[in-house]
A and B are shown apart, each in its own frame.
Chain A
Amino acid sequence: MINTHVTIQSMVLEKLKNMPLKFNFWLQILFILVFALVLFGPIVNLLIWTVTEVWYFPHALPSQWGFKYWHQVFNPYSNVSSSLFTSIIIAILTVCVCLLVSVPAGYALSKRSMPFRVFWMLLFLIPQAFPNLTVYMNIARLFYEFGLNGTLLGVVLVHSIHGLMFSVWISVAAFSTTDPMLERASRNLGAGPIYTFFHIILPQAAPGIIASCIFVFLESLDEFTGTFFVGAPDISTLPLLLYSASMEGNYQIASITALILLVPSILFMLIINKFMSPEMLSKLGK
């Protein structure tokens, strides 16, 4: 009798000891649950709107579902397909411009002997350190004088300046990982500097450079502010179309456009998730 009493008492004590840990566990689970709801709520709402045909105020869910607006969007004569085409062309051209200037810059800056290396690195950081809305406004004014407003070239240039920071910084990191001994060996064996660069150095840095291209591509695809000032109304990219559809209250078209913009972003996230650990990010720029 006494024995059982003692064991019960010890069991209760044991439970009490574990209590804070268990309590903490459920608290953390609750936090995750709320966090997930907050994260997924807007995404689910967007997905519902893409397949909504009729949705009036007091109803919790649409009263009529369907793919009517998808047909409208993917009609070859719709604005969406032409905007998608423009967006992709601009993004590809932006990647080309960024590659052209940032590969040589990244290679030169990866050398520790580069004079004023910190200054150059900071120079490419500046576009991220100032609110760029004001700058885009004045670029639009500048471009107006040269007749670049509303042209493809103008939009590509604005997107490039935005993407340059990513492409330069990631290229520097990529070229820093290359083995200098291989370069020296190639030169000693009689290869020219240009041959060595394209056959020995560039292949080693390729993964990083491809990552920077993906970044620049996505940034260009999603860019709104610069296109709004420089491109509109002649150049219509997907973000501009999304904006005008949404302001007209055409939420189905806006949501489907948003979903189209989401697809490359999510694909990219799945690919890059492996490369982009927080540990690696803390090493970037060193």
Chain B
Amino acid sequence: MHFKISKNLWLVAPAAIMVAILFLYPLCFSLYSAITLDNGSFTLEHLHTSFELYSNDILFTILIVLISVILLALLSTIIAALIVLSPFRSVVLILGVLYRLPLFIPFIVTAQMMRTFLAKNGLMNNAFIASGLMTPMDTVSFLGWSGIIITFVWKQLAFSTLLITGAMSALDESQIRAARNLGASRFKILTQIILPQIFPTLGVAMVLSTVTMMSVLSVPLMIGTGTPTMISADMAFRVNSYGDYHVANALGLVSYAICAGLAWFYLRHSLKDKGATA
């Protein structure tokens, strides 16, 4: 038996070592580098510099992530609820195929699509002009903060809806049927029976989406023109133009903090829920 266990450990070892060297070590190093000088002594100078230079961008990043997450949660819940609760089979079928469309479209392709679609002379404005809703003089370019949000929501919606639809259809169907027999409307079933039970999945989907949004470099580089910009673009700039890893890592620390903040918010809520029922 003992022999078998150690053999299994050997089988996991190569993959685990790869994660340790290529992910955990750089991760720890980024934390270390953010709060130390070149000689290894502790300092808050880099964090101070990054707040001084990029406080606008940090605020901008938090706003973009928050707005995107709220929009994502709303839209994906609506779509998933329609798929699970709608009495019209055709609606369910069409929606089920449609929402998965962006799932496998790469971020960089999405960024390129949106760069042309949302531009001043993009198809969106052109369609508004052609339908008479706008004159060519009124058009504005959406490249900027709104473009970044639109791109993130467009791409991530498929993923979060997939998770939430999965959670909703894994629910015990007899509860929904019982509620319906007792005369509950569909809206009431959604808000009082389904949503409380899928809250953990919704939270996980939102936290994972936040992590994705903070890691994607192509979207802020290609859509977010001018200032302010997202801190991911600032980090790339800091490294590529100045070779300044300390400040870039300090900004990285801020991006971890933003993700951790959202994760903390989610955990606190789910713990509170558990405390209430216990």
Instruction: Give the number of residues in A that approach B within 8 Å (Cβ atoms).
Output: 89
Q: How far is the CA of A35 from the CA of B98 in the complex (A)?
A: 8
Select B19's contact among A38, A127, A247, beta carbons within 8 Å: A127
Does any Cβ of A come within 8 Å of B64's Cβ? no
Does any Cβ of B come within 8 Å of A255's Cβ? yes
Binds B, one of A54-62, A63-71, A181-189, A198-206: A54-62
Binds A, one of B40-48, B85-93, B264-272: B85-93
Asked whether A242 lies within 8 Å of B166 as measured between CB atoms, the reply is: no
Does any Cβ of B come within 8 Å of A152's Cβ? no
Question: In the complex, what residues of B have CB within 8 A of residue A251's CB?
Answer: 115-116
Do A246 and B101 form a contact, CB below 8 Å, given A45-B117, A101-B18, A130-B256?
A: no
Asked whether A225 lies within 8 Å of B218 as measured between CB atoms, the reply is: yes
Q: How far is the CA of A58 from the CA of B259 in the complex (A)?
A: 42
Does any Cβ of B come within 8 Å of A6's Cβ? no
Do A45 and B123 form a contact, CB below 8 Å, given A101-B14, A108-B11, A123-B16?
A: yes
Asked whether A102 lies within 8 Å of B15 as measured between CB atoms, the reply is: yes
Select A101's contact among B15, B130, B166, B218, beta carbons within 8 Å: B15
Most chain A C-beta atoms within 10 Å of own C-beta, residue among B16, B23, B91, B127: B23
Select A111's contact among B8, B102, B162, beta carbons within 8 Å: B8
Does any Cβ of A come within 8 Å of B30's Cβ? yes
Asked whether A131 lies within 8 Å of B91 as measured between CB atoms, the reply is: no
Looking at the assembled complex, report how far the CB atom of B189 sits from the nearest CB atom of chain A, in whole angstroms: 14
Does any Cβ of B come within 8 Å of A195's Cβ? no
Do A32 and B217 form a contact, CB below 8 Å, given A46-B112, A49-B116?
A: no
Binds A, one of B51-59, B66-74, B172-180, B245-253: B245-253
Asked whether B215 lies within 8 Å of A133 as measured between CB atoms, the reply is: yes
Within 8 A of B (CB), among A247-266: 247, 251, 254-255, 258, 261-262, 265-266
Does any Cβ of B come within 8 Å of A166's Cβ? no
Looking at the assembled complex, report how far the CB atom of A256 sits from the nearest CB atom of chain B, in whole angstroms: 10
Does any Cβ of A come within 8 Å of B208's Cβ? yes
Asked whether B108 lies within 8 Å of A224 as measured between CB atoms, the reply is: yes
Does any Cβ of B come within 8 Å of A2's Cβ? no
Question: In the complex, what residues of B have CB within 8 A of residue A192's CB?
Answer: none
Question: In the complex, what residues of B have CB within 8 A of residue A113's CB?
Answer: 4-5, 8
Select B108's contact among A43, A100, A108, A222, beta carbons within 8 Å: A222
Do A105 and B116 form a contact, CB below 8 Å, given A28-B82, A32-B94, A239-B108?
A: no
Asked whether B218 lies within 8 Å of A134 as measured between CB atoms, the reply is: no
Chief secondary structure at chain B's binding surface: helix
Question: In the complex, what residues of A have CB within 8 A of residue B193's CB?
Answer: none
Asked whether B16 lies within 8 Å of A137 as measured between CB atoms, the reply is: no
Does any Cβ of A come within 8 Å of B235's Cβ? yes
Do A282 and B112 form a contact, CB below 8 Å, given A138-B29, A243-B218?
A: no
Asked whether A131 lies within 8 Å of B259 as measured between CB atoms, the reply is: yes
Asked whether B108 lies within 8 Å of A265 as measured between CB atoms, the reply is: no
Does any Cβ of A come within 8 Å of B106's Cβ? yes
Question: In the complex, what residues of A have CB within 8 A of residue B19's CB?
Answer: 123-124, 126-127, 161, 164
Asked whether A246 lies within 8 Å of B222 as measured between CB atoms, the reply is: yes
Question: In the complex, what residues of A have CB within 8 A of residue B165's CB?
Answer: 278
Name the residue of chain B whose CB is nearest to the CB of A57: B121
Does any Cβ of A come within 8 Å of B124's Cβ? yes
Does any Cβ of A come within 8 Å of B140's Cβ? no
Asked whether A281 lies within 8 Å of B166 as measured between CB atoms, the reply is: yes
Question: In the complex, what residues of A have CB within 8 A of residue B211's CB?
Answer: 128-131
Q: How far is the CA of A101 from the CA of B12 in the complex (A)?
A: 8
Does any Cβ of A come within 8 Å of B236's Cβ? yes
Asked whether B121 lies within 8 Å of A269 as measured between CB atoms, the reply is: no
Within 8 A of A (CB), among B141-163: 154, 162-163
Asked whether B16 lies within 8 Å of A138 as measured between CB atoms, the reply is: no
Select B104's contact among A36, A161, A268, A279, beta carbons within 8 Å: A268
Question: In the complex, what residues of B have CB within 8 A of residue A164's CB?
Answer: 15, 18-19
Task: Sort A-B residue pairs by CB-CB distance and give the 9 closest, nearest first.
Answer: A134-B252, A278-B166, A222-B106, A131-B214, A138-B26, A42-B113, A108-B11, A104-B11, A45-B123
- Knowing that A114-B8, A261-B106 touch, tell me 7 more A-B residue pairs with CB under 8 angstroms: A35-B98, A41-B117, A42-B114, A60-B127, A137-B235, A225-B217, A258-B113
- Give 12 A-B contacts (CB < 8 Å), ordered by A residue: A39-B154, A45-B122, A105-B12, A113-B5, A126-B19, A133-B235, A135-B27, A225-B217, A246-B111, A247-B221, A258-B113, A265-B104
